[in-house]
Amino acid sequence: MVMSSPTTSGSPARERVDWAALKSYIAAKEAYETQSGQPAPLTDDECAAIAVLLRPAPRPDPDLGTKNWISFINHFLQVRRQTITFRDEARQEPRLGKAPELRWACFLTFDATQDTFPRPGYGLADSSAKSPDFTRKQDAKQYAAKSACQWLIANGHMLPSGELPKQPKPFASSASAPASATAPAPSKAPSVPVSVPVKRSPSRSPPTEPSGVAAAQVQQALPTRTSPSAEPVPTQSPRQKPAKAPRTTSPPKPSGSSPPATASPSRTSSSSPSSASTPANGAALNGGDTSELPATRRVVELAGRLNLPTPRYILTENAEVPGGDFWNGRADFDYHPLVPDGLGTVTKAFTKKGAKEKMAEGVLDWMLAELERRETKRRAALRS
């Protein structure tokens, strides 16, 4: 397929491509697809060679403008006492002869109203459109914040400059739901007046006696009114029955049993937020456990597992901010065909160490996705 050509002026011989053989190869693949209606089978080496020759043009990312939309959102949250949730979504675009391109989409949700962005009219053309994705996770987050800011501006909650109006419109607060949920709890407090009759007729009971003794004396006072001849009996019964009264009558009747009924709602209401926050804390701990090692160390380990070269982090100081300790960098994989173009590229990262960590984080995200893709493919092959 390759022939040598004569040289001139002593220059080294250059190999000449056998174009006829290449055309014959292409014709055979086209004939197969015409007859079978299926893509022509290609080996991994053929796919890698074609990917080098037919390198696809990079997909342009949506325009983000020059404003820092995340800063606008943070200002709104601080002033209006609101909270939001960001959700990242990893996507893999298949490419011929190379690993799928890893791209990111992001969604922003207001916790108080459950409005999620991008949405139709704000970042999306219509409900059937797919949300935009980006090569950098930070750009996807910026786009979600931009869509939310456009909605806030359209509804009078924010000015086009990013400032907030002096007389803002009401914005639903997530604190109103817990307040209404805990409000009915005090309605159970009227059970306390059970002890009121004890306070009306304790002429014989000293104030220092427990409530169980007072209740026992009230019960004994009732039969003395109907049987006047039993006057000596009350003098003996208070000595015998007060000891028994706290054991038998104090659990069901004393007023001390009613406060736990009123206190239990407060305990359940106070424990419910803690139990709700426990999964979030546990998830945070689990997330921390998976990333105890630095991203650079994890990249080295995953590169060995994926049979990929360990990347070299090439850093250059950003000339736009001289002396500002900002750096540009790229991860060099020696042009390995399975590695996406531009993987691990950063610009204007603060400090040399910070730039290297950001590069490693981008590489790590792709390696984890690639490892999962291979494991899924392996499991599917075992099941078949």
Same structural domain for residues 40 and 123? no
* Per-residue model confidence as pLDDT tens digits over 74-88: 988 988 888 999 999
Q: What backbone torsions phi and psi does residue 44 show, to the nearest 5 degrees?
A: -60, -40
Specify the pTM: 0.37
The residue that leads in pLDDT, 280 or 115, is 115
Low-confidence winner among 22-26, 173-177, 249-253, 343-347 (lowest mean pLDDT): 173-177
Reading the block at residue 224, the tokens are: 């003395």
Low-confidence winner among 42-51, 182-191, 221-230, 318-327 (lowest mean pLDDT): 182-191
Mean pLDDT for the stretch of residues 62-73: 85
Any domain includes 124: yes
pLDDT at residue number 59: 63
Same structural domain for residues 302 and 365? yes
Any domain includes 231: no
pLDDT at residue number 10: 55
Any domain includes 257: no
Band of the pLDDT at 299, cuts 50, 70, 90?
Answer: very high
Any domain includes 244: no
SS3 label, residue 205 = coil
Cis peptide before 118 (omega within 30 of 0): yes
- Tell how strand 98-110 and strand 326-332 pair up: unpaired
Q: What backbone torsions phi and psi does residue 174 show, to the nearest 5 degrees?
A: -70, -15
Same structural domain for residues 47 and 93? no
Which one of 157, 174, 191 terminates a domain?
174
Residue 153 near residue 159, CB atoms below 8 Å: yes
User: Nearest Cα to 338, choosing from 366, 364, 312?
Assistant: 366
Band of the pLDDT at 58, cuts 50, 70, 90?
Answer: low
If phi > 0 it is left, if psi is from -120 to 50 it is alpha, else beta; for residue 257 that is alpha
Same structural domain for residues 41 and 98? no
Same structural domain for residues 49 and 73? no
Which one of 120, 154, 174 terminates a domain?
174
Any domain includes 269: no
* Per-residue model confidence as pLDDT tens digits over 197-256: 444 444 444 444 444 444 445 445 444 444 444 444 444 444 444 455 445 444 444 444
SS3 helix, strand, coil % of the chain, rounded to 5? 50, 15, 35
Rounded Cα gap, residues 384 and 378, in angstroms: 10
Q: What is the CATH number of the domain that holds 336?
A: 3.30.160
- Tell how strand 312-317 and strand 2-4 pair up: unpaired
Domain enclosing residue 152, as ranges: 69-174
Q: Could you give the percent of the chain with pLDDT greater than 70?
A: 61
Any domain includes 198: no
Same structural domain for residues 75 and 167? yes
CB crowding 141-160: b at 16 or more within 10 Å, else e: bbbbbbbbbbbbbeeebbee
**pLDDT score of 274 more than 80:** no
Residue 104 near residue 140, CB atoms below 8 Å: yes
**pLDDT score of 291 more than 90:** no
Average pLDDT, the chain: 71
Any domain includes 369: yes
pLDDT at residue number 273: 36
**What is the total count of domains within the chain?**
3
Any domain includes 322: yes
CA atoms within 13 A on the CB side of 109: 9
DSSP 238-301: HHHHHHHHHHHTTTTSSGGGHHHHHHHHHHHHHHHHHHHHHHHHHHHHHHHHTT-S-HHHHHHH
Cβ-based burial of 109 (10 A; exposed 0-12, middle 13-18, buried ≥19): middle
pLDDT at residue number 45: 78
The residue that leads in pLDDT, 242 or 114, is 114
Distances (CA, A) of 48 to 35, 103, 119, 222, 337: 25, 21, 39, 102, 6
Same structural domain for residues 51 and 122? no
Question: What letter would DSSP give residue 339?
Answer: S
Which one of 152, 174, 196 terminates a domain?
174
